[in-house]
Amino acid sequence: MKNPFEIDYVEMGTRIRQKRRDMGLTQERLAERISVSSSFIGHIERAEKVPSLDTMAKLSIALGTTLDYLVCGVQLRCERDRCYLFRDIGRVLEAYGISENN
């Protein structure tokens, strides 16, 4: 039985590769965006090397997704009006007279 707390690096690499391809990025272009070598991107996608948390955070930003999705395959959904974070940010901006649409 698979340990639910164990990261499946093969699956993680597959998700990274798929997101990269969905965005039309080469390994070289993605590597430039996060300041690593293109060969390192290949190693991550093939699960030959384990990236640091810092690198994973950069990958999630560059690929327009979350760490949850890249690492675990969990895509969180947050409707803007129901998400407490967005609501609270909106209130803070409003208190300072700043429109969210600026």
- Classify 29 as helix, strand or coil: helix
| Angle CA 73–58–76, to nearest 5 | 30
Query: How far is the C-alpha of 79 from the C-alpha of 81, rounded, in Å?
Result: 6
Q: What is the pLDDT along the chain (102 residues), one digit of tens a residue?
A: 666 678 999 999 999 999 999 999 999 999 999 999 999 999 999 999 999 999 999 999 999 998 889 998 887 665 554 455 656 666 777 777 776 554
Which sequence spans correspond to the domains of the chain? 9-72
* pLDDT, tens digit, 9 for 90 and up, residues 55-74: 999 999 999 998 889 998 88
Q: How many CA atoms does the CB half-sphere of 56 hold within 13 Å?
A: 16
CATH domain 9-72 topology: 434 Repressor (Amino-terminal Domain) (1.10.260)
